[in-house]
Structure 1
Amino acid sequence: MSDPFKQAAGIRKVLTAGEDAEGRLDAWITANLGEEFSRSRIKALIKDGQLTVNGQPVIDPQKKVRAGDQIEVLLPEPEDPTPKGEDIPLDVLFEDSDVIVISKPSGLVVHPAAGNWTGTLVNALIHHCGDSLSGIGGVRRPGIVHRLDKDTTGVMVVAKNDIAHRHLSLQFADHGRTMPLERAYQAVVWGRPRSLAGTIDAPLGRAVGDRTRRAVKRQEDNNADEAITHYQVLERFHESPDATALASLVECRLETGRTHQIRVHMAHIGHPLLGDITYGAGYKTKANLLPDSARKIVSGFGRQALHAFMLQFEHPTSGDIMHFEASMPEDMQELVSALRR
């Protein structure tokens, strides 16, 4: 009989179904193959003809497993990524065979997309550690489990293999409620929130008429995702006797991680981020209240004043609690110094 795999390159795994074997083929293989491959990946391999049962090719993931079945699956070598590696400098805080933690600079897009097919963090990571990527979903690429906006700076973790990708994805989906994930940001906002500490619980969804923007929605809206931000005022700038302030430095901790969450939430309570032309353009004239030297720096600040200074997570294989912090970038330090003056 000819080889049903057509001599394709890869790793062959042979499994034998025991007396208690039952259920769908894709589910059984995933449970018995270990954590290296996800069920969706196994399902795709079956449909692609990379599996035989008792020597016969099978392409139906829902086929039932029977006791004594000899199941052979071909696990192809990871394919090269579509994005190409580019020699873009990275500030690496930590790296091992499972994860890489970096401090992202302003202006760096995380993932290739329309308008930014090159020059992204993914391109940089493929160049930096492409040889150590073992393949995520069958492709030798970095596993992005969370994102920072192009002009937001700070700590990010990226997975280097399927096991790490799934483990980190679970932590970010859990939002730190039952797992040790923590995320904290520093932001400079206009004004001073009424309370020095508080929680913003306001669902978010796509803005009407503009798919790139997010907006606060009603709880019952089908387009609404739960979004919760905890904030604390750290410092007030140009405070008046009546306890108002021109601007404030706040720390925000995410209980959920929605697109533009901090930017939309702070604007929602009347305190948008300095430099945020998407959600706070109407506040830009407040800089005119500052002395000349400070006004020039504040008016010229060309991005939202947001920095992801802290990230904590559980290492996907060792179980160690990993804690990382990144200092406020120079442009935000200069902004804060100007406001203090």
Structure 2
Amino acid sequence: MQQLASKRGLEGRRPALGDITNSEITHSHNDGNKAGGKPALIRGMACVPQQHLAKQTFTDPSLIDSQMFHDKKRRDWVDVDAMNLDDPQACSSYAMAIFQHLRESEVTNRANAAYLEHFQTDVNSKMRAILIDWLVEVAEEYKLCADTLYLTVNYIDRFLSLYPVQRSQLQLVGVVCMWIAAKYEEIYPPNVTDFCYITDNTYSKEQMVQMEETILKRLSYELTVPTAKTFLRRLLQVCNPDELLHYLSNYLTELSLLDHSTAMVFLPSEVAAASVYLANLMLKRVPWDGTLRHYSGYCPSDINNCVCALGQLHTVIAGNVQLASIREKYAHPRFQAVSRIAGVPGLSQILA
């Protein structure tokens, strides 16, 4: 037993752990205490000139009265991430870095804004809106999560920016993009037979698989992209909304998927911020505050155009019989019937 202990090293530790553990500092610290000397940290500091120590330590703004330079008394936003430090899944320590990366990624993973006008010859914005309206029904039928729907639209727009499609194949492109998104996002995605069935077997399994290969190659297999739902989830986390604001913001953001100009002109993060702003206006609340400005990165003036576009789209969809899937979806009591909330009259004058 003594030989085994000696092989394992001090205090039963395996010698091999010394290669991956800062054991030298630990041992020197313990040895210093046993000998009655100074701990390693203090002995190390004794080697630093006093004038250098004073300059480095006591002029550090983070150590003066324990106040950081972004003093809470002077800022107008709430540090929501600090409230979630005990939750490892919230990634609070680097959440801001994650969303900064997503802001950069949303720019590089955009479709060509003019693909319907300058590239596609047999597909127009009305056909695209009808396709997405139908895909909303498909997502409801198979109980797919919202992220699957948003990814589907992203894949459709990016693919149509790169590959000319006949109108007879547009439904195939849409349903295959949803199949890809479902396999990416869902725990139990519908299989190829389910998606063939939802098209009344207009397309065969072989056509589905062939189109899937074509889409994936054109997208260079880049399927991880931020959507408006990604940024909306973050903003709703920081503003602590009630159910009305939560569902109304989601409704307005989902409406943006139907409109080609809104989806192409504005970044997903802009659409998410504008949806929260407009939802607050529709509920007659303060539309924006310091916390939303800090976490979104947008001032009200930055998103005014997007807010106006969403307001106009909300008015148009309210009276559109053909594109009714999203409106009927959010008219359900489980969504607090937010699609029945009236828009803001004179929105452009309010934002001017």
TM-score by length of 1: 0.21
Write 1 or 2 for the structure with the bigger share of strand: 1
Larger radius of gyration: 2
Structure number with higher helix proportion: 2
